[in-house]
Amino acid sequence: MSNLADFLKAPDASLESDDDFDAVNELVMKRGWGDGLPVVPPTAARVEKMLAFCDRPVNEPIAKVAPRYGEATPLRLAANAVMAGCKPEYFPLLMLAIEAMCEEPFNLYGVQATTHLCAPLVIVNGPVVQELDINCGHNAFGPGWPANATIGRAIRLTLLNIGGALPGVGDMSTFGAPSKYSYFVAENEARRPSTAISSRKTKRAIPGSRCTSSAACRGRPAR
Amino acid sequence: MSELRKRGLVTAVITSDPFMKLGRTQAKVFGVPDLPLVQIPHPLGGLSLEQVEGRSLIATPQVLKLIEDNVK
C-alpha cells in the first residue's frame, strides 16, 4: 500500500490532528461524523493496516451509498472500519456487506431515508464465521462480541459518513432504533443446515471463498 | 423526476414540511439543485378525505404558479 500517502495528499482526503484520543473525538463530534460514540482515531497507520486485507484499488469506488450516493472506496471504508474498532481481518466482510446493500434491488435509499425504524441486517455464513469468531449463538445481537459489534458498527458508520444518512437530513426515521448502531450476525448453519443462506439466491460471496452475505431490512412489524 | 427536469419539462416534487431538507439535498445529489419543491403540511398518512383535500388546496396554487411562470 505504498501509494496510500499519495492518496492522502489529495484535497480533503485527510485532516491534520494529533494522534490523541480526546482531540480526534472532539474533531469527529464537531464535524458531525459518526454514531455519537467515541471512535478509534483513523490514523494513516491504522488505515494502512486495514487496507492490508484489501486486494482492490484503494481509491476506486466499490459502491455508491444512498441517499448521498457517496463513493465507497476501500480507503474511505477502511477509515470507517478503524473508527468502529474493527480488526483488519474483518475488513473484507465490511466491503462485502456494503456491496450487497448497495445493489439496486435492495433499495438502500428507501431503507435509509424512510420514517420507519428499520435498519439493514447483515447475516453471514460459511467458514469465515469460525475464522473471525462471529457469534451465531447466545446474544448474537449483542452485547459482548467484537466481530458482531464492530463490523456492524462499521457498516453503520459507512451509512452515516459516506451515505449521508444523518438524522433529520438523510435519515428521516421517526424514532430510530438500537439496531442502527450495529446489526450484524452469523447464521447458525450447524443448527439449521436445511435452510442455510448459502442455498438461497440473494447473496454475495467473497471471491474464492465459500463465505456468503445476505442483507435484509428488518424492523418491528406494523400492527 | 430529476430526469424529467433535465429534459426541460415543468417539474416539481410535492414535499411535506419535515422532508424539505431531504428534498433539497436529493435534488443536489441528482444534479437538479433548482428542482422546485411544492411544500405541504405533514403528515400525509392517516388523513381523512377532507384533510387530503386541504393538502391539495395548498399544493395546487403552487403548481399552477410554477406552470404559469414557466409559460411566461
Count of domains observed in chain A: 2
Q: Give the number of A-B residue pairs with CB atoms closer than 8 Å.
A: 19
A113–B22 CB contact, under 8 Å: yes
My answer on whether A62 and A150 are in the same domain is no
Peptide bond between residue A88 and the one before it cis (omega within 30 degrees of 0): no
Chain A CB contacts of B18 below 8 Å: 168, 172
Residue A83: enclosing H or E segment and its boundaries? helix A74-84
SS3 state at A9: coil
Show the domain range for A84.
4-89
Assess whether pLDDT exceeds 70 at residue A116: yes
Nearest residue to A19 (alpha-carbon basis) of A47, A60, A58: A47
Query: CA B39, CA B62: separation in Å to the nearest integer?
Result: 8
Dihedral, CA of residue A220, residue A165, residue A108 and residue A125, to nearest 10: -70
A172–B25 CB contact, under 8 Å: no
B21–A67 CB contact, under 8 Å: no
Inside any domain, residue A119? yes
Q: What is the pLDDT of residue B72?
A: 73
Q: Nine-digit cell at B7? A: 429534459
My answer on whether A108 and A84 are in the same domain is no
- Cβ of residue B25 closer than 8 Å to a chain A Cβ: yes
B22–A172 CB contact, under 8 Å: yes
Inside any domain, residue A167? yes
My answer on whether A173 and A147 are in the same domain is yes
Tell me which of A40, A62, A89 is where a domain ends: A89
Mean pLDDT of the A22-38 span? 94
B29–A168 CB contact, under 8 Å: no
Q: Nine-digit cell at A2? A: 505504498
Q: How many helices (H) and strands (E) does chain A have?
A: 8, 6
Q: What is the pLDDT of residue A48?
A: 95
My answer on whether A48 and A132 are in the same domain is no
Strand bridging mode A119-125 / A212-218:
antiparallel
Buried residues in A81-115 as b, exposed as e (16+ CB within 10 A): bbbbbbbbebbbbbbbbbebbbeeebebbebbbbe
Query: CA A212, CA A209: separation in Å to the nearest integer?
Result: 8
B19–A172 CB contact, under 8 Å: yes
Q: How far is A45 from chain B (nearest CA, A)?
A: 32
My answer on whether A76 and A139 are in the same domain is no
My answer on whether A112 and A10 are in the same domain is no
My answer on whether A116 and A38 are in the same domain is no
Inside any domain, residue A97? no
Mean pLDDT of the A45-71 span? 96
User: HSE (CB half, 13 Å, CA atoms) of A26?
Assistant: 7
My answer on whether A138 and A201 are in the same domain is yes
Do the Cβ atoms of A132 and A147 come closer than 8 Å? yes
- Residue B30 burial class via C-beta count within 10 angstroms: exposed 0-12, middle 13-18, buried 19 and up: middle
My answer on whether A155 and A77 are in the same domain is no
Tell me which of A89, A112, A129 is where a domain ends: A89
Over residues B5-62, the pLDDT tens digits come to: 999 999 999 999 999 999 999 999 999 999 999 999 999 889 999 999 999 999 999 9
Chain A nearest-CA residue for B45 = A115
Assess whether pLDDT exceeds 60 at residue B2: yes
Percent of chain A with pLDDT over 90: 73
Best residue in B1, B2, B19, B25 for a mutation probing chain A (most A CBs within 10 Å):
B25
My answer on whether A142 and A177 are in the same domain is yes
- Cβ of residue B17 closer than 8 Å to a chain A Cβ: no
DSSP string, B3-69: HHHHTT----EEEEGGGHHHHHHHHHHTT-TT--EEEE-S--TT--HHHHHHHHHHHHHHHHHHHHH
Best residue in A64, A68, A114 for a mutation probing chain B (most B CBs within 10 Å):
A68
Inside any domain, residue A99? no
My answer on whether A186 and A111 are in the same domain is yes
> Please, which residues bridge with residue A121 across strands?
A216
Tell me which of A61, A89, A117 is where a domain ends: A89
Inside any domain, residue A94? no
- Cβ of residue A68 closer than 8 Å to a chain B Cβ: yes
